[in-house]
Structure formats: C-alpha cells, structure tokens
Amino acid sequence: MTCLRGVGVSPGRARGPVAVVAAELAEPASGPAPGDLVAEAGRIGPAAATVAARLSDRARSVSGDARSVLVTTAAMAEDPALVRAAERLVAEPGLPAPRAVWEAAGQFIAALRAAGGYLAERTRDVADVRDRIVAELLGVTPPGVPELTAPSVLVARDLAPADTAGLDPARVLAVVTEEGGPTSHTAILARARGIPAVVACAGVLGLDAPGLEVDGNAGTVEVSDGSVRAAGPRSRQQWDGVGKLADGHPIKLLANVGSAADARAAVAAGAEGIGLFRTEFCYLAATGEPTVADQRAAYAAVLAPFAGKPVVVRTLDAGSDKPMAFLPAADEPNPALGVRGLRVAFQRPDLIDRQLSAIAAAADTGAEVSVMAPMVATAAEARWFAERARTAGIARVGVMIEVPAAALAATEILAEVDFVSIGTNDLAQYVFAADRQLGAVAALNDPWQPALLRLVAMVAEAASKAGKPAGVCGEAAADPALAPVLAGLGLTSLSMNSVALPAVGTALAGVDLKACRDRATDAVAAADPEAAPRRR
C-alpha cells in the first residue's frame, strides 16, 4: 500500500474520496495593447472592489476564525497600492488590465518572498487575491475549492487563506497539501476547525487513487478505496476570552499582527493584547524612509483598538534578505546570516532612533506599549538596544530570542531587559539549519522537535529565576496541543495568529498546571517529535 509522509499539523484520522483543488490561473496574455488605456485602467478598481465585496459577504456569513481571515483578505483585495500599481502598468507600458494586475501582484509577491519569515508566508494570500481579481477581469471562475457533493479528502498544492477559512468540517474530512509548513495558514485554520491535516506531503498530487487515509498525528497519507471514515468530533468548551489554566494559573493570550486590519481581527477574536506587532508592513510600499509623523500614524492605527491593553512593538526586522527601498542592499553570500534585524540598526542608529521616537509618540493611543528588538544574539546587543529605547521614552523593553546564541545566553540577556519573547519559527530554522519556507525540510521545523523545546525550556527557566516574563510569539503558540506544553515549561504568554486564539484558549482551560508540567517533561525528554505527547 502506498504511503506518503508529510508534516502532521492538525490531529485526527480520516478516510474518504479525493477532491483536488484546481491550480492557480494561467498567466494572462501581455497583449494586445488596449485601445483606450484610460478605460482599461478604470476596470481594475471596480474589479478589485467586487472581489472585496464578495469576500466581505462571505465573512458576514461566518464567524470567529473564518470571519477574521476573510475580512483581512477582503482588505488586501482593495489595497490602494496594488490597484495603483496595476493602473500604472496599463498606462505604461500599455498592458491589458488582467496582465497588469498579475505583474503588479508579482512585484508584491517578490518583495514578500525576499523579506522571508512571516512576510514570505503571506505570498499565498497575495496570489489568491491576484487570481480573484484577474478572474473577475477575464469573466472566468477563479480557482479554488471545488463544490463538494459528498464528504471528501481535500488535496492541493497549497490552500489560500480565504479557501481554508471557508472549509466545512462536515464536508472536508481532511486536508493534504504538497507545500506549506507547520506555520502556514492551512495548518493554523485546520487546527482551529478540527480538520485533520498534513502539509509538505511531496507527491500527493501525483497519486492516482480513489481515496486517501490521512493521519494528522503521524503526518502520513495512505491510498485507500474511497470509503468514508470521518474524524471523531472534538468536544470543545467555549473559551471565555481569558487566558488561564483550569486551576486559574494565568497564561496571557495575545495576537501577532502586522496591520490595522490584523489588529481589528485580533480584537474580534478576543486577544488580550498584541504580543508581536511586525512593523515591516508599514515600510513595504515605501520608496523612502517614512517620516516620524507617518510612522507614528501607521503605528497608532494598529495600537488604537488595544487601548488599555498591552502591545509589544517589534522594531524593523530588515536587512539584506528583507530589502527596503531606502536601505541599500549589501552583497552578501548568505543573507540569512548577514546584516539583518538589529544589526541594521548598528550601522544606521539614526534609523532606529526615529522609529523608537515614532513608537513612543503612538503610545498616546492609550495602549500599554512595550518595544522589542529582533535578531539579538548577545547581552551587549540587548543592552545597546535597551538604552536607546529608554532614552526615546519607552519604559518597558525586551528582545526576541530567535538566535540559538541568545537562548544560551538568556540569563545575561534578561539582566539587561524587562522581558523576552521566543520566536520559535526563526529559532527552529537556525537550530536545524532548515529554511522554514522549504517544504523538503518542513519536518525539521516541527515545533515539537525536542531540541527546540529544550532551548525554550532553558529560556523559560532563566526568566523564572530573573522574575521576568518570557513568552512565545512564533506560531508554535498556535497549536492547541502544544500550548499546555509551553505553559508547563514556564512561559507566561503565548502570541499567535488571531484565528488560533479560541482553540488555544479552550485547550489551556481544560488542563491544570501539574498536567502541563507533566506534558512538558515528556515532550522535552522525547527522542523525536513522533514520541511527543501529542502523538500518543
């Protein structure tokens, strides 16, 4: 019997007939040139608005995680920067509107892919919006999840967030994708909706089989006869919006955001604050460094929905692998190990000082603002950043732990700052020398890897001894099965994509601190991810 292995990202077993998701649209033609360039450019805005309205209508018909994802995708469809870029390509060099949208979106996708990390993970979102607008302009049906007439196993190269958000657990028995990883939208939303899922399953689209059996725990996909066996329903209590264990032990549940739309979705999902505000989004479309006033306005739009609540703002995570138009790109043989994150600030202290001033000014929104730096490797770097942030008027200062050296030096770093936040996504890829965007090594980026959890435990212990908070802001926090383990290791907060909040909150509310510590002990001692508590 044929058996393929991927990365299990949402637990459960299910079996059923295969339903294949159509591939992306073919590239639209570059010609002939439109006869009336003004009229042709004028088609783009209404098409984008129609797509956004359609997604907004879908958002109103659902709730919770699905609504927040659809609202965010609708906002992306109407992004004025995308529409203007496409209109310019109609005017010069005279492209048809569908091709102009395709190429304009391609520019955004290239910038996000070059940025790496979280931003690179958003390329699928932009491609989905691109295909929907292009399909509207061409008058064809956009690719996506087919109409399911019977319960099926959904197979795709990857799934767009808007498609994943609309999945009906009564019809979708399981999801298998050839691409994606543990931190993808597919993983997060499948977990939130209780659908077994396996990602990074190479070769699944090449199988000629009537059905598949999917094990979201073990990450295996086997050929079956097409008969149906649904995953058992998950009994899930309603989360009350307060992050705590069954015995009342507090675990603050926060959201990762990059825009005002993300912040509004986080509020709707019940986030107790923002654990990671990625300021890169405020720079992506900038051809020059935004002024302090412009930065302050952009940050304030994100902070305002969280007046009276904690917000952790991460300073610009840029560098040679995350190019910004106003930062000359260095020629480096290995950009991932080059001048990026806080290392850029060492070369351009004026840049970080202006950003810190803007962040301090945005605190007048009423949010309880803290700031933290990315890519910190030593205590000396943490001290340098903390001094500049406090000089700018920001009282609470922390750093990211995403470099193995920082985890090993956590005690010394915590002597310089008020808190630390573990970026498990980057920490995993540096620990295992495995690109988090590469499906072929996705298994190494599994947050259940014992080596990764041992580093997390080391940081949590150092923070406990220092009497300072330590949280996780990588997508490891979005796994409801892993959240109790992280709590048991001693983390005080978990920050995640907002769609994961209800499921994680419910999972934590169902266990006490002793049970969490027992699970943490087992997970750290496991020989490999397959032996971890979630796999048993």
The Cα–Cα gap between 339 and 203 comes to 37
* CA atoms of 423 and 399, how far apart (whole Å): 10
- Please tell me which residue in 3, 201, 249, 473 is annotated as part of the active site: 473
Burial zone of 268 (CB within 10 Å; 0-12 exposed, 13-18 middle, 19+ buried): middle
- DSSP code, position 334: -
Spatial distance between the Cα atoms of 217 and 188, rounded to a whole number of angstroms: 15
Torsions phi, psi for 129 (to 5 deg): -60, -45
Beta pairing class for 211-215 and 13-20: antiparallel
User: How far is 165 from 177, CA to CA, in rounded Å?
Assistant: 15
Residue 185 a catalytic site member = yes
- For helices 44-60 and 80-91, give the axis angle rounded to 10 degrees: 160
Task: Copy the structure tokens of residue 224.
Answer: 């079956």
**Tokens of residue 359, six digits:** 């962040």
Beta strand pairing status for 419-422 and 3-5? unpaired
Q: Is the Cβ–Cβ distance between 359 and 390 less than 8 Å?
A: no
With beta carbons less than 8 A apart as the criterion, state whether 310 and 274 touch: yes
Which one of the listed residues 3, 185, 201, 249 is annotated catalytic?
A: 185
* Tokens of residue 334, six digits: 């290995």
Both structure tokens of 148:
């399911």
* H or E element at residue 522: helix 513-525
Question: How far is 180 from 338, CA to CA, in rounded Å?
Answer: 26
DSSP-derived 3-state class of residue 349 = helix
Answer yes or no: 282 catalytic.
no
Residues marked as catalytic: 185, 473
